[in-house]
Amino acid sequence: MSVIGNTALEFTDDQAMVMDVARSFCAGRSPLERVRGLLESDLGYDPAVWGEMVDMGWPGMALPEEVGGSGLGVSAAVPVCEAMGRSLLGGPLLATLLAGQLLLRASAGGAGSAVLEAIAAGAPATIALLDGADWGSEQIRCELGSDGILHGVKQQVMEAAAAEWLVVVAQEQGKPVLAVVPAAAIAPEARRDHVLIDATRRAQAVDFSGIQVAGDAVLRGPEVVRALRDVRLLGALLLAAEAGGSAASCLDTTVEYLKTRTQFGKLIGSYQALKHPCVEILMALDATRSFVYHAATVVSDAPLDEDAEIACRMAKAQATETLKYAGDRAVQFHGGMGFTWDCDAQLYVRRAQWVQQAFGDAQHHRKRLARLLLDR
């Protein structure tokens, strides 16, 4: 067997339709001056735009019809995240999609379906996943006691302020469980707003200590273990799609500048020292989109198989490196302008630093890929 393995890449009519709608919606609702307008706002997104996304059914697009979703599967969310990334459109969609996937995949017996229905109807949700800074750690510190009370602080809970439901990853006598907590159960003083390097998004550290979780709001069993593994991979995939979108508009921004800025009597885009890195970014971007849509082809509602794991990890490893490079060069190639807050390059270079870490950086994924590809 070749290490190249599965190379399926298909794009359905459903995905194509979603992509068309998402690209024009995001471009229309999120021009860069509106992105900038939200950078220093509390919420970080425009509730009216979120309302339109709910009206289009996006929070439930990957959920089955039985809970009120569109049943398009998680592959349909890929072009949406890519389009959002392209327009740097923030908000709770990505966190909500992932929380929905986690609950869906963990609830074999239908537990959690009331929350899934709420999500499909447009209630923002999120996952409280990280205990520390190590995305690769399987250790869960947050604990669910035998009395049904949570103990522990979760870090970098994506869009926690917006979420109506928080899916808390905890351990109960060493075994992973999911505790579904309504936002109202968390006291304001238990929340601390993070200051993120990517100012288009929001996150909080949340202290869940002392919160009593109702018995039917806890999910347990082997499905939880599998669902956690899968949702880490799907998180990597959706963020790869988003990063790919951001890298594309970042490259456009840089190229546009190189076509208009003159120095020493020449358009600076004519210099090969600037031209060739742009070509490298374009080629990395082409690789990113290929990996992302290959991964979108091989994931499904079923537990992810090894091909899907390989595909999601490669997509994230590639996308992360691409946006890092595109953002880094965008600043440099804008010269003195690039050093300013007003230059759009800062939006991309700052996003790149956040997204490279979220759901594992490139080295993390390559380390896992090495096990999958070289140790068999």
Q: Which residues bind other proteins (CB under 8 A)?
A: 2-5, 7-11, 15-16, 19, 248, 251, 255, 258-259, 266-267, 269-270, 272, 275-276, 278-279, 282-283, 286-287, 289-291, 293-294, 314, 317-318, 363, 366-367, 369-370, 373-374
CB of 193 to other proteins, least distance (A): 36
Phi/psi of residue 109, nearest 5 degrees: -90, 15
Q: Indicate the burial class of 271 (C-beta count within 10 angstroms; 0-12, 13-18, 19 or more).
A: middle
> Rounded to whole angstroms, how far apart are CA atoms 111 and 227?
14
Instruction: State both tokens at 163.
Output: 């979420």
CB of 264 to other proteins, least distance (A): 13
Q: Indicate the burial class of 94 (C-beta count within 10 angstroms; 0-12, 13-18, 19 or more).
A: buried
CB closer to other proteins, 20 vs 66: 20
CB closer to other proteins, 78 vs 349: 78
- Residues in contact with 34: Cβ distance below 8 Å, sequence separation at least 6, in sequence order: 46
- Residues in contact with 170: Cβ distance below 8 Å, sequence separation at least 6, in sequence order: 140, 142, 143, 144, 150, 152, 176, 177, 178, 179, 208
CB of 369 to other proteins, least distance (A): 5
CB closer to other proteins, 113 vs 249: 249
CB closer to other proteins, 190 vs 369: 369
Instruction: State both tokens at 190.
Output: 């238990």
CB of 359 to other proteins, least distance (A): 18
CB closer to other proteins, 166 vs 255: 255
CB closer to other proteins, 162 vs 240: 240
> Rounded to whole angstroms, how far apart are CA atoms 103 and 302?
13
DSSP run (H or E) holding 306? helix 306-333
CB closer to other proteins, 201 vs 316: 316
> Rounded to whole angstroms, how far apart are CA atoms 263 and 312?
43
CB of 291 to other proteins, least distance (A): 6
CB of 252 to other proteins, least distance (A): 9
CB of 293 to other proteins, least distance (A): 6
Q: Indicate the burial class of 221 (C-beta count within 10 angstroms; 0-12, 13-18, 19 or more).
A: middle
Q: Indicate the burial class of 272 (C-beta count within 10 angstroms; 0-12, 13-18, 19 or more).
A: exposed
